[in-house]
Structure 1
């Protein structure tokens, strides 16, 4: 399910990890343009941490054209971007609603819903996402991924602690390795540069936008 050109499978549940970040916007763009069909249900899932997202929301909104879906949806994506940018400075702006609106503009027939979950004590973001994907019976999990030099050199720790417990967790890598369903890590390469995708069986798979 990495790229286009496929017949639509029976309706699936596709979950996109939704955060106010450029990586999350790229994951949503990939999902809408390459991965979901009108017969699917798209779930925007956000792990709530209010002290975190409020500090990054403005940076996310100032990125031009993050919700662009390519030439086929240029008009719709432009409207979505205008809507998001018009919300700059509004403290009560709900980025999840803006993402949902972008989905409706890009794929009007697609069923979209928003799910939120607060991280429980003793758990972290990765295990919270994993548990929720199992609970909802998700078929495909999509998450924005950022590859940094430190991530490549240090790897990631397992939630709950391990011999590698002092290393920062890479949520996307953990989900790719441990999800029962197909999990796709997405790196968006510019507005027209395509996507670098990672799954359990495909590493650094290049897909043109």
Structure 2
């Protein structure tokens, strides 16, 4: 990506995401302290998709340090796969079993997401944080639907590091066929009603984050 392309991407990213570390003072009055003016600043709703993976936690940390402003609210969205049965009789027979099997899974997920919510409250107590669990058959479409219904301003997703050869194969495959609902991150990026960003933390040697949007792939943000 040339310098002109990088400049355009950063300007668009700053306009939508406000990529900057939170500061205690600002020339425009955006700080941790309440605005001194009488004009109420309407915040954005930022949805961060979370799970037990480290990639989701890294995406949340990036959101807290580079994106969220005091007037914004963060919604931690955790997806749970809905159980399906092949017949009505089987559904009636296993209805009680499904409920009991769901409890341990939901309990574990609740503990992990609660820990992430606590981390948000400790790092950015001025930013409102809430948790939502959603069930669905497909992860991508379910999250896109939630982002639309909740009128999200930004959707943030954690992204795993892929081997270069695998990434080339995925690029070739995406050109040969449309992105399916099973390509969770790609599906959300391409179908989200708001700006969607996939975040991947780079290694200690290079540092920073790699950001992917609908128009830019693997943009390295050194911060």
**Match among 151, 167, 170 for residue 154 of structure 1:** 170
Which structure's relative contact order is higher, taking Cα pairs within 8 Å and 6+ residues apart? 1
Match of 2:200 in 1: 187
- CA distance in structure 1 between the partners assigned to 2:159 and 2:178 by the alignment: 21
Q: Provide closer, same or farther for how the CA distance between residues 178 and 106 of structure 1 changes in structure 2, counting only shifts above 3 A.
A: same
Give the Å deviation of 1:187.
Answer: 0.5
| Residues 44-78 of structure 1: per-residue CA shift (max 9 Å, x gap) | 00001499xx89xxxxxxxxxxxxxxxxxxxxxxx
**Match among 101, 106, 128 for residue 118 of structure 2:** 101
Report the 3-state secondary structure (helix = DSSP H, G, I; strand = E; otherwise coil) of the residue aligned with 2:77.
strand
Report the 3-state secondary structure (helix = DSSP H, G, I; strand = E; otherwise coil) of the residue aligned with 2:196.
strand
Structure richer in helix, relative to its length: 2
How many pairs does the alignment contain? 167
- CA distance in structure 1 between the partners assigned to 2:201 and 2:70 by the alignment: 23
- CA distance in structure 2 between the partners assigned to 1:152 and 1:22 by the alignment: 24
Give the Å deviation of 1:128.
Answer: 0.5
1:47 touches 1:125 (CA, 8 Å); kept in 2? Answer: yes
Match of 1:15 in 2: 47
Gap regions ≥5 residues in structure 1: 56-89
2:76 touches 2:130 (CA, 8 Å); kept in 1? Answer: yes
Q: Provide closer, same or farther for how the CA distance between residues 166 and 135 of structure 1 changes in structure 2, counting only shifts above 3 A.
A: closer
1:12 touches 1:41 (CA, 8 Å); kept in 2? Answer: yes
Q: Which has the larger radius of gyration?
A: 2
1:156 touches 1:170 (CA, 8 Å); kept in 2? Answer: no
Gap regions ≥5 residues in structure 2: 1-16, 31-40, 83-100
1:155 touches 1:167 (CA, 8 Å); kept in 2? Answer: no
